[in-house]
A = this chain, B = another copy of it.
């Protein structure tokens, strides 16, 4: 087919091609997320994709966790460098912006029971809880909500907003405004 396709040392590149294809398809709710479709998109054979990752779930695990890892890292950085009250708002905005670029990934962040994704999901939850807790101690967030509950609330609603299709700037802004005001300690 594509006579220029290289092999050997570029196995890593093919791996990435498959990941990119999976990511692309995760963003196209129209086309079914089948191994065949992923492989076609990557310019590979279906068996190659399966073999490279060891199964469809493992491929999705890799794709989703590759996307999620920098998000978790960013949360950690914000937690370390920024004032608690601001960190939460900043991160929320960035989280939505991130998911805006990787549409239906969110569907798989929840629900995919594979090691890498599950671990990152846990990490993200922990970092966000810490964010909330500090913000509460700082007086920036109301204390009548348990940090774990607040984290669930924030994560789920942010996901929903990010998943909106079409997603408008207005919607995201409104969400951030409402959520952050709603989280403030009542007057």
Q: Which residues of A contact B (CB under 8 A)?
A: 29, 111, 144-146, 149-150, 152-153, 156-157, 159-161, 163-164, 168, 170-171, 174-175, 177-184, 186-187
Chain B residues positioned under 8 Å from A145 (CB to CB): 174, 177-178
Jot down 20 A-B pairs with beta carbons below 8 A, ordered by A: A29-B111, A144-B177, A145-B174, A149-B170, A149-B174, A150-B174, A153-B161, A153-B171, A153-B174, A153-B178, A156-B157, A156-B161, A157-B157, A157-B160, A179-B179, A181-B181, A181-B182, A181-B184, A181-B186, A182-B183
Q: Flag if A171 contacts B152 (CB, 8 Å).
A: yes
**Complex Cα–Cα for A181 and B184 (A):** 9
Identify which of B111, B153, B164, B177 contacts A175 (C-beta below 8 A).
B153
**Complex Cα–Cα for A162 and B168 (A):** 23
Chain B residues positioned under 8 Å from A170 (CB to CB): 146, 149
Q: Flag if B178 contacts A152 (CB, 8 Å).
A: no
Chain B residues positioned under 8 Å from A149 (CB to CB): 168, 170-171, 174
Identify which of B161, B163, B180, B182 contacts A177 (C-beta below 8 A).
B182
Chain B residues positioned under 8 Å from A29 (CB to CB): 111
What are the nearest 8 A-B pairs in CB distance? A182-B182, A160-B160, A178-B182, A157-B157, A181-B182, A156-B160, A145-B174, A149-B170
**Complex Cα–Cα for A175 and B29 (A):** 28
Q: Flag if B157 contacts A161 (CB, 8 Å).
A: yes
**Complex Cα–Cα for A145 and B180 (A):** 15
Chain B residues positioned under 8 Å from A175 (CB to CB): 153, 157
Q: How far is the CB of A164 from chain B (nearest CB, A)?
A: 6
Chain B residues positioned under 8 Å from A171 (CB to CB): 149, 152-153
